[in-house]
Structure 1
Amino acid sequence: MNIQQIEKGFKEKIELYDTLGKNLVESIKILLKKANIKVLSITYRVKNTNSFLEKIERKSYSNPLEEIEDICGIRIICYYQKDIEKIKKIITKELKIHESTDKETKLKYDQFGYRSHHLIASVIKDWEITPSFRGLSNLKCEIQIRTVLMHAWAEIEHNLAYKNEAQTPSQFRRKIHRISAKLEEADEQFEELKIESEKYQKELSKEIAKSNQEIELNLDTLQAFMDNNFPKRRKDLDATGQLLNQMITYNASLKDLKNGWDVLKDDFEELEKEFWMGANSKFTKWIQVGIARFVLDITHPEFINRLPSSYQKKARERYRQKYLI
């Protein structure tokens, strides 16, 4: 094939690669949400014609349309190092993996450089049953998985254009080594902090369950209370943070929430059903934060003032007359 034929073949496939990238991103988002793995972002890009032709010239491919495996590239940016392995495991289970490379393991102990995990993958034939993946199983894509700090390094490294030590002026090498080491250490410390935080929350759950004393209100203690008392309801840490801010604004303590729940818990399931019926809405079980807000709306003197409309307040008023502490 001459270069004109290669370029024509590439342009004919661009739309297919774009469809592959877009649909894979959406599928991976669903898989990670189901596994309760939070990520910063999942994005894709398809090489443009100039980038494709430049790579052919640089790498001297004999059959570039088959050999170039990153025409479609997907990037997953997660928060913690251990999430990389979890994400990799999920993708490996769902997709056909042709190659798996950990860039970090290729670095010697005294080297700085790019850290990321790369997978060359394609959708399995069974996925073609779904219209959005029909005719795409013969296309490969590159999936990069990295933490936020790995991504920060990669972007700055790209901007500086120093890909390795041989390309780096000697007067800059020590500083770049130090920056690389700090980012790697920070990645490890964030992982440790996450583990310590989870352990702390478990200990808090036991303390909150048996204590009648006032306990400091913060994100961890509030989440621990809800995990302990509403374990079967969905948690959402962002929503917990918003609830915390509201509790501070309206002078509601963790003890207020605990006392309110003690008053309502025996009747709560019936109250929840009755509330939704009274609101002429389809019954939907509240998530953890929804339960906590309802409890405080009914049992706390000020918290209901967060509601902007008299209609919303009126829907809770008849319960307040019975349960207001």
Structure 2
Amino acid sequence: MNSLLLDEYHKLMPAYERLEYAVNDMLREHIKSSSIEVNAIESRIKKEQSLIGKLERKGDKYHSIYDITDILGVRVIAFYNEDVDRIASIAEKIFDIDWANSVDKRKSHEVNSFGYNSLHYVCKIPHTSFYNQKFPEINNIYFELQIRTALQHVWSAIQHDIGYKTDIEIPDEYHRNLSRLAGVLELADNEFSRIRTAIADYRRHATKLVKSGKLEDVLLDGETFKTYLELAPFDKLNKKIAAITAAEIHATSLIHYLPVLKSLGMKTLRDVENMINDNENDAYQLALYQLGSTDIDILSSSIALQNLCIVHILKNGGGKLGLCRLFEQINGTSQSNEIMADFIFEQASKLSFMNIGKSDKS
């Protein structure tokens, strides 16, 4: 009987190879369309020697090659526990699941079960999802789909490497140490999920606060600044500056100004908003002085924010050194930064906000 099964195995090998390609392709497509990031999608077709060993142990169970469900094995390694469930839901939609022979090992409560806490499905592809006239038998072949987290996968691989689940007895001391490590990894797996959920909640809450105008409650960070920029807070000043020479505004990212704003002592979005309100007129006057006698017809959308930062630095006593640091943050280290700082300082020194500052000091 075993020789007949091996003959079937060889005859069906092209179908198994086509099935492997189809399953991988379907999973990648649906996982990507669901915006789920995964660590890897792996697959393998059982080698002949491995199948022979299986038949020697359990050959009396199988009457046909189709009864052996693990000749093709596919594994999806996710980053988070909840993504395992989402990928499982995808599998249930695109494959026919043999529920009687599928098992959710995550429901095991054994203390050393962490590395085996995978979701195992026995599946086949229905005609409605995929059909190949050259290999019609594909729709009759069952395969095994394993879904687990990256930490579960690493732990399982380590256990396999050190021979933990072999027939060789090992001292209780090592069992205890491995169980403790498994507990730590299980806690880490759960904590990663908890932190991701908390961060997602924070982002939603911060976005809601930004859009409602409650900026004093929103810390200045990459996520909140990105949301703030979506409100186009510098557009009004940009358009006013562009009108000086009827210039076109060339859109550019302003996210790289985040460290600049932080270095200027701004901790919340309200601080940024206050900087705009306090310095908008003076930033425009600086632009008017710079552009009034030119015919520049294209301006970067960073012009408003840059001039606001320049005015803020000069009003707060930063001087040429402060301007030089600003240009280094924006443009990187260059000898031209000092030249530019001198030039801008000389221009600004002729404007009213600088003279008012001098009179205040006197």
- TM-score normalized by structure 2? 0.61
Tell me, in whole angstroms, the C-alpha distance in 1 between the residues paired with 2:93 and 2:133.
21
Tell me, in whole angstroms, the C-alpha distance in 1 between the residues paired with 2:24 and 2:37.
14
1:68 maps to: 68
**Secondary structure in 2 matching 1:145:** strand
Show CA shifts across 1:216-271 (max 9, x none). Answer: 55343245447x759xxxxxxxxxxxx8984558x477759x98xxxxxxxxxxxx
Tell me, in whole angstroms, the C-alpha distance in 1 between the residues paired with 2:204 and 2:62.
58
**Secondary structure in 2 matching 1:42:** strand
1:124 maps to: 126
2:90 maps to: 90
Q: 1:169: how far off?
A: 2.9
Alignment-mate amino acid for residue 45 of structure 2: V
Tell me, in whole angstroms, the C-alpha distance in 2 between the residues paired with 1:78 and 1:300.
41
Distance 1:2 1:133, change over 3 A: closer
Q: 1:37: how far off?
A: 1.7
Tell me, in whole angstroms, the C-alpha distance in 1 between the residues paired with 2:52 and 2:92.
30
Instruction: List aligned pairs for 1:35-54, cutoff 5 A.
Output: 35-54=34-53
2:124–2:143 contact (8 Å) kept in structure 1: yes
Alignment-mate amino acid for residue 65 of structure 2: L
Q: Which one of the candidate residues 94, 101, 118 is aligned to 2:103?
A: 101
Tell me, in whole angstroms, the C-alpha distance in 2 between the residues paired with 1:81 and 1:168.
31
Q: 1:6: how far off?
A: 2.7
Tell me, in whole angstroms, the C-alpha distance in 2 between the residues paired with 1:39 and 1:132.
32
Tell me, in whole angstroms, the C-alpha distance in 2 between the residues paired with 1:109 and 1:143.
24
Distance 1:163 1:206, change over 3 A: same
Q: Which runs of 5+ in 2 are unaligned?
A: 233-252, 263-268, 277-298, 307-326, 333-362
Q: 1:192: how far off?
A: 0.7
Instruction: List aligned pairs for 1:46-195, cutoff 5 A.
Output: 46-60=45-59, 61-63=61-63, 65-99=65-99, 100-109=102-111, 113-129=115-131, 134-163=136-165, 167-195=169-197
Alignment-mate amino acid for residue 139 of structure 2: S
Show CA shifts across 1:293-312 (max 9, x none). Answer: x9856755579979xxxxxx
Instruction: List aligned pairs for 1:211-250, cutoff 5 A.
Output: 211=214, 216-222=219-225, 224-225=227-228, 246-247=256-257
1:267 maps to: none
Alignment-mate amino acid for residue 181 of structure 1: G
Kindly indicate whether residue 30 of structure 2 is the aligned counterpart of residue 31 of structure 1.
yes
Tell me, in whole angstroms, the C-alpha distance in 1 between the residues paired with 2:79 and 2:134.
29
- TM-score normalized by structure 1? 0.67
Q: How many residues align?
A: 257
Tell me, in whole angstroms, the C-alpha distance in 1 between the residues paired with 2:220 and 2:164.
47
1:23–1:132 contact (8 Å) kept in structure 2: no
2:108–2:117 contact (8 Å) kept in structure 1: no
Distance 1:107 1:113, change over 3 A: farther
Larger Rg: 2
1:296–1:304 contact (8 Å) kept in structure 2: no
